[in-house]
Amino acid sequence: MAETILRGRLLTFHGEPQTPADKTAHLYIEDGALLLDGGLIKARGTFSDVQSKAAEGTKTIDHRPHLLVPGFIDTHLHFPQVQVVASWGAQLLDWLENYTFPAEALYADAGHCAAMAVRFFDEVIANGTTTTVAYCSSHKTSAVAYFTEAARRNMRVIGGKVLMDRNAPEGVRDTPQSGYDDSKALIASWHGKGRAHYAITPRFAITSTPEQMDTARVLATEHPDCFIQTHLDENHDEIAETMALYPDAPDYLGIYERYGLLRANTLLGHCIHMQPREVDMLIETEARPVFCPTSNLFLGSGLFDYEGLRARGAKSAIATDIGGGTSYSMLRTLHEGYKALATRDGTKMHPLRAFYWATLGNAIALGLEDRIGTLDEGSEADIVVLDSRATSAMALRMETCKSLSEELFILQIMADDRSVAETYVAGEPMKKKD
């Protein structure tokens, strides 16, 4: 790929903003540019500086007056749930039984998996997301389709087939042995290949027997560099059923603790109704809680204690949780997150922290900040181009905008996929045009 210059207003973070007025944690360049080469950011700076470093005749793509920010990172999605988004009338366990498991049963078919993978990645890219962390179904075919389509687009992704051997219909259950064997084969085929990482994925304790949890422990021991992802403390009924199945555990998190599944590359979806001992263990093991505001609100699950966990030093991530979540957009997720935190304890998530969270903050939670989440030189060229005037209502509001923070808040509250003018994955424009 030949060198390319992207011109526009650059915004990237090198730390977590502490206040709405904190200008020490980010870099903003009004007439900025990025020199892209080989899927990486080769140079960053003012347009004149970057142009002087490029070879003569290098193509410039002028995105002014739009913002160029790091591609969004979505740390918790369910690839097989693309056709159950906006399914009405249930809380978590009923929702899984009535909508999710029937949809996931279709992923035994490789053709269906491949077709849905194309549409899944079309949607996330349309919304400016360049890295996904996804649960596949319990079928090996679903994970193969997910990784294959991501590789075709050269996306950095994390994913894994779900381990689930009980409390689900026959068509979506595996066994401890088949789950182990399939996971081992997928790790061998995909983990560390190109831009792919594997996640050992017991869905949650309700759907895995102790025997299967033990195979997850073995997988985690054999592959310490693989991620682990599962769910925790999302819903009161879920917690009660979990403790009935594991009566000897001190609490829900204690189950994962017992099976050696807590470490710095463990991602725990939701973490809403945590007990004090669970919080202590979360901090001790450095496992990552994942805030999923749109699904928490949609399913009526509860409100995430962002400030409490942050005060203890937890590195929380934020995610859409498609398909319990209601939008593929990380911008809409930041919007709903703002309202959820304000409702819980009056926290007002300011826009600098919001954009940090969806980019560098999520990269840090994944331990991938040296590769994604910034516009630093040497980083992978995953970039989203944002149009703050994409709709008539936004353009009207922008007429009175006086600062970068105010513009970011307009994007945080009013934007969706229409504000994503382009999405670059490894330096290549990827957003399909209508």
Burial class (CB within 10 angstroms; exposed 0-12, middle 13-18, buried 19+) of 88: exposed
**Would you state the pLDDT for residue 96?**
86
Share of the chain above pLDDT 70, in %: 100
Average pLDDT in the 181-189 region? 98
Instruction: State how far the Cα of 362 lies from the Cα of 85, in Å rounded to an integer.
Output: 23
Tell me if the pTM is above 0.85.
Answer: yes
Give 138-171 pLDDT, tens digit per residue: 999 999 999 999 999 999 999 999 999 999 999 9
Is residue 209 a contact partner of residue 245, using CB atoms and an 8 Å limit?
no
Residue with tokens 């689900």: 168
Specify the pLDDT at position 148. Answer: 98
In terms of C-beta distances under 8 Å and separation of at least 24 residues, what long-range contacts does 294-297 make, across chains too? 294/320, 294/321, 294/325, 294/326, 294/327, 294/332, 294/333, 294/336, 295/320, 295/321, 295/324, 295/325, 295/326, 296/234, 296/270, 296/272, 296/340, 297/336, 297/339, 297/340
Peptide bond into 179 cis (omega under 30): no
Query: What is the band of 273 on the pLDDT scale with cuts at 50, 70, 90?
Result: very high
Q: Which pLDDT tens digit goes with each residue over 346-372?
A: 999 999 999 999 999 999 999 999 999
Angle between helices 176-190 and 210-222 (to 10 degrees): 20
Comparing 101-105, 172-176, 328-332, the range with the smallest average pLDDT is 101-105
Residue 434 has pLDDT above 70, yes or no: no
Give the pLDDT score at 351: 97
Distance (Å) of CA 88 to CA 103, 160, 323: 15, 27, 12
Section 52-75 average pLDDT: 97
